[in-house]
Amino acid sequence: MTRRQREAVDALHRNAPVHPNPTLAEQRAGFAGALSRPLPDDVAVHETVLAGRPALDLTPATATGRARLLHFHGGGYVLGSPGTHAGFTAQLARRARLRATSLDYRLAPEHPFPAAVDDGLAAYRALLDEGVRPEELVLAGDSAGGGLAVATLVAARDAGLPQPAGAVVFSPWVDLTLGGQSMRTKKDADPIFTREAIQAFATPYLAGQDPAQPLASPVFADLRGLPPLLVQAGSNELLLDDAVRLAGRAAADEVEVTLRVWPQVPHVFQNHFGHLDEADEALDEAARFLATRVRAGQEVQDPEADRP
């Protein structure tokens, strides 16, 4: 964990080229170019369909059993795809030794709220219908995908579905009112976002709807009954208070929750794996959490499994 690495990542973001008034297609192409990372050789990737939506299956060579990771990519509900995040998802899957499915949920402005949540819930239900036991199922998501993961858990609970074994969210965007104090206190520290830039994602996603709705901003949701959560964030991000308040809300609602904040790193710093020690440390922690939750669920399901 070196200062030089952190400074290099900060400079990379601050010096990223800015194109004035890009079209939506240009934004999406630029995001794909900036986010894409190489795929590990030991992770097989193929296109599939889940609940009527395109998806990517990512299967590490070390994956065993039927346990599954359902992943939601970030991009402000406007940008991104399973492909833009395939390298990131593969890294998490191989470290956790879990087969992963990354959902291509519908994006705004073509499909505003609650389309993404509807797709997340449908995907979760479809995995259960395929025979994946909830004890063998975990969720993960970064940024808006982190918010979508939490919203999917709330929607699943409200629909009467069993909860999965656990969920990890990286720098989750869970308050579309942009009400966190870090929107102000971290404005100089954040090398990626301004408040206006985040609002530019919220506006097309909400399409005039109330930003405080629990499934749009799950920091305002009743989180009782959700599975154990791991929430990770960096201290140099406008969305820091989203992570902190989500963890606080979960704790108040009797949810087992762990909050980890790494100092002097930005939004979804985990995508800098291989170049930033904190990123690899955070991914390893997330993978251990997911693997432990699945293993604990399997032991509850079959208490004789590990006995001689």
Task: Give the pLDDT means over successive 10-residue stretches in the chain (308 positions).
Answer: 90 89 95 92 97 98 93 98 97 97 98 98 98 97 98 98 98 98 98 97 98 98 98 98 98 98 98 96 98 80 44
Q: What is the pLDDT of residues 105-129, one digit of tens each?
A: 999 999 999 999 999 999 999 999 9
10 lies in some domain: yes
What pLDDT was estimated at residue 18? Answer: 83
What pLDDT was estimated at residue 65? Answer: 85
CA distance 124 to 137: 9
What pLDDT was estimated at residue 303? Answer: 45
306 lies in some domain: no
What pLDDT was estimated at residue 141? Answer: 98
Q: Which residues are catalytic?
A: 143
308 lies in some domain: no
What pLDDT was estimated at residue 278? Answer: 97
What pLDDT was estimated at residue 1? Answer: 57
Range of the domain at 66: 3-301
Domain with 190 in it: what CATH number?
A: 3.40.50.1820
CA distance 171 to 152: 17
What pLDDT was estimated at residue 305? Answer: 43
Instruction: Quote the tokens at residue 216.
Output: 């749009």
- Of the candidates 293, 288, 173, which has an alpha carbon nearest to the alpha carbon of residue 237? 173
DSSP state of 186: T
What is the distance, to the nearest Å, from the Cα of residue 158 to the centroid of all Cα atoms in its chain? 21
73 lies in some domain: yes
Please tell me the pTM assigned to this model: 0.95
293 lies in some domain: yes
Decide: 171 and 237 in contact? Cβ < 8 Å: yes
Instruction: Quote the tokens at residue 56.
Output: 């990517």
Domain count, the chain: 1
Q: Which residues contact 89 (CB under 8 A, 6 or more apart)?
A: 56, 58, 71, 73, 82, 100, 102
208 lies in some domain: yes
Decide: 218 and 250 in contact? Cβ < 8 Å: no
307 lies in some domain: no
216 lies in some domain: yes
What pLDDT was estimated at residue 207? Answer: 98
What is the residue whose two structure tokens read 């705004």?
Answer: 108
What pLDDT was estimated at residue 301? Answer: 58
What pLDDT was estimated at residue 214? Answer: 98
Maximum Cα interatomic distance, the chain, rounded to a whole number of Å: 65
End-to-end CA distance of the chain: 42
